[in-house]
């Protein structure tokens, strides 16, 4: 059985002091649910101090973005060498990066390869926008993004990747997809595409989260579907009690814990 993974993407929220306070507020609660892989993704400036707070625990730490080059004249960028040894995960290709900062499918692929080369676990985001959804283009868009992200990556490496299906129209809008909608895309489109790229075993081994206005009220619905392995959580991950409750409910649904 795939291990569920719940990751909190704090986006451009929290000062260093606020980030540390938030971690302290949720640390005990998160450690009480070892059945679920828990990952915190604070802003870059808080990675080092948060890493100190998480030291000795089994809670993962992730960056929100990364450049594919190891070093160079790329002012303002963060390289995989800077993250290696500091955190274990990195979010790649989030829709906000694609929409506001011009990230392309090719760039996402280069970042995924760089993350894998340096021992980082990529959380690769895919998802259609509202216009594409309403035009019936969801399957083609999502499948295309998966194919592009995994281009040139062998099956063994592919199994190390986590995918987050985040329909753009659901991110930060309070308008989540239904569990049935998310499961259809994740189980049918994403795993179907992975099976074509690799094989059925690899498609079933790769973990796929849902993201987009998830919270403690709707996490049960998503986790009830076998193809959904967790959530990439935005706003709700900034509330210690709610994020801990989401992790607890995920474990309860998947394991009866």
Task: Give the pLDDT confidence of 30-61 residue by residue, as tens digits.
Answer: 999 999 999 999 999 999 999 999 999 999 99
pLDDT above 90 as % of the chain: 94
pLDDT tens across 209-254, in order? 999 999 999 999 999 999 999 999 999 999 999 999 999 999 999 9
CATH number at residue 190: 3.20.20.70
Full domain range(s) for residue 64: 5-255
pLDDT at 1: 85
Residue 166 appears among annotated catalytic residues? yes
pLDDT value, residue 257: 64
pLDDT tens column, 126-157: 999 999 999 999 999 999 999 999 999 999 99
Query: In what helix (H) or strand (E) does residue 224 lie, and over which residues does it extend?
Result: none
pLDDT at 172 exceeding the cut of 90? no
Tell me which of 37, 103, 128, 166 is the catalytic residue.
166
Q: How far apart are CA 14 and CA 17, in angstroms?
A: 8
Total domains present in the chain? 1
How far apart CA 66 and CA 46 sit, in angstroms, is 15
* Helix-, strand-, coil-residue percentages of the chain, each rounded to 5: 50, 15, 35
Q: Reply yes or no on whether 134 is catalytic.
A: no
pTM of the model: 0.97
pLDDT of residue 177: 87
Assign 3-class secondary structure to 116-128: HHCCCEEEEEECC
Under 8 Å between Cβ of 145 and 126: yes
Q: Which of 94, 96, 221, 242 is catalytic?
A: 94
Burial class from Cβ neighbours inside 10 Å (0-12, 13-18, 19+) for residue 145 reads buried
Q: What is the mean pLDDT of residues 108-118?
A: 98
- Residue 4 CB partners (closer than 8 Å, separation 6+): 35, 36, 37, 207, 223, 229, 230, 250, 251, 254
């Amino acid at each position: 059985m795939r291990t569920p993974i719940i990751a909190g993407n704090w986006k451009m929220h929290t000062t260093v002091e606020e980030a540390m306070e938030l971690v302290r507020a949720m640390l005990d609660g998160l450690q009480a649910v070892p059945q679920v892989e828990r990952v915190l993704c604070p802003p870059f400036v808080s990675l080092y101090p948060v890493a100190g707070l998480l030291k000795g625990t089994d809670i993962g730490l992730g960056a929100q973005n990364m450049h594919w080059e190891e070093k160079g004249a790329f002012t303002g960028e963060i390289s995989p060498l800077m993250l290696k040894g500091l955190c274990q995960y990195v979010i790649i290709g989030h829709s906000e990066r694609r929409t506001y900062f011009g990230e392309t499918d090719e760039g996402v692929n280069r970042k995924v390869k760089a993350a894998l080369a340096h021992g980082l676990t990529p959380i690769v985001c895919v998802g259609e926008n509202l216009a594409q959804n309403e035009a019936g283009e969801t399957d083609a868009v999502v499948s295309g993004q998966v194919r592009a992200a995994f281009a040139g990556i062998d099956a063994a490496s592919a199994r190390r990747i986590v995918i987050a299906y985040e329909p753009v129209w659901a991110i930060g809008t309070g308008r989540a997809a239904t569990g049935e909608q998310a499961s259809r895309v994740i189980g049918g489109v994403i795993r179907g595409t992975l099976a074509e790229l690799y094989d059925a075993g690899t498609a079933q081994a790769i973990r796929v989260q849902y993201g987009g206005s998830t919270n403690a009220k709707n996490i049960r619905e998503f986790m009830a579907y076998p193809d959904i392995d967790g959530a990439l959580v935005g706003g709700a991950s900034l509330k210690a009690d709610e994020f801990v409750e989401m992790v607890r409910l995920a474990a309860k649904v998947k394991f009866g814990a």
